[in-house]
Structure 1
């Protein structure tokens, strides 16, 4: 069931928790697709949630046995918020320099490139990494 994102005055938010396993990254992408449907931003939103969910299971306690991560998608008239909640870790998500040998942080470069803005809220007990995507109006004004 897809939400009715047709009304320009309505705001919709969906939230779902996922087990912290690699197999659930594709489920998180499908969750975003179910929310957005055939909107032009769907592919970009899938990629963003994939990167953020991958970071959650790779770099936080969400990826430990029994761990979980949450995904929230929240659409307004012209803006989509994608947020991934993890179970925290001692390290803080950050962008790595291009010359870094380590793979860590490169997904955030992609998120930064694809979104209007992104950020982090929380601490070592749990963090939310969020990103903003502009939405193309469903009903252009005259």
Structure 2
């Protein structure tokens, strides 16, 4: 398999104001590829950026940053949200017992339910949480 083709990458302050900025950035990138699941991509991006701002060390630091990277290959969209991780040891987990009617804790549940694949891994600079959406 060939490598994913990077559509774009943006670095943003880890503040709640980054959520609409990230959505606009990714929406504009995706206009060029006409992906059938653009709305799902924007919803899942919103969840991951919000989690980064609320739960990572990036969001706890006044100068904290997050990075969003968007790639596309053979109809599959791949989005990474990169932050400083969590020194407190918090890991991205789908909350147990979450349903579509739950009042909270649905972010990663939505990512799991709507994406064709998702996951996370640690890097030297922190953590990457990613998802993919198949165009098929």
TM-score (norm 1): 0.80
> Which consecutive residues of structure 2, in runs of 5 or more, have no partner in the other structure?
none
Q: Residues 36 and 25 from structure 1, CA distance in 2 versus in 1: closer, same or farther, beyond 3 angstroms?
A: same
Runs of 4+ residues over 2 Å off in structure 1:
10-13, 101-104
Q: Which residue of 2 aligns with 1:14?
A: 8
Matches of 2:68 and 2:132, distance apart in 1:
14
> Which consecutive residues of structure 1, in runs of 5 or more, have no partner in the other structure?
1-9, 137-142
Cα RMSD, aligned residues only = 2.2
Matches of 2:26 and 2:104, distance apart in 1:
25
Q: Which residue of 2 aligns with 1:5?
A: none
Deviation at 1:103, TM superposition (A): 3.8
Q: Determine which structure has more spread, i.e. the larger CA radius of gyration.
A: 1
TM-score (norm 2): 0.83
Following superposition of structure 1 onto structure 2, how do residues 79-90 of structure 1 map, counting pairs within 5 Å?
79-89=76-86, 90=89
Say whether residues 1:66 and 2:63 are aligned partners. Answer: yes
Q: Which residue of 2 aligns with 1:95?
A: 94
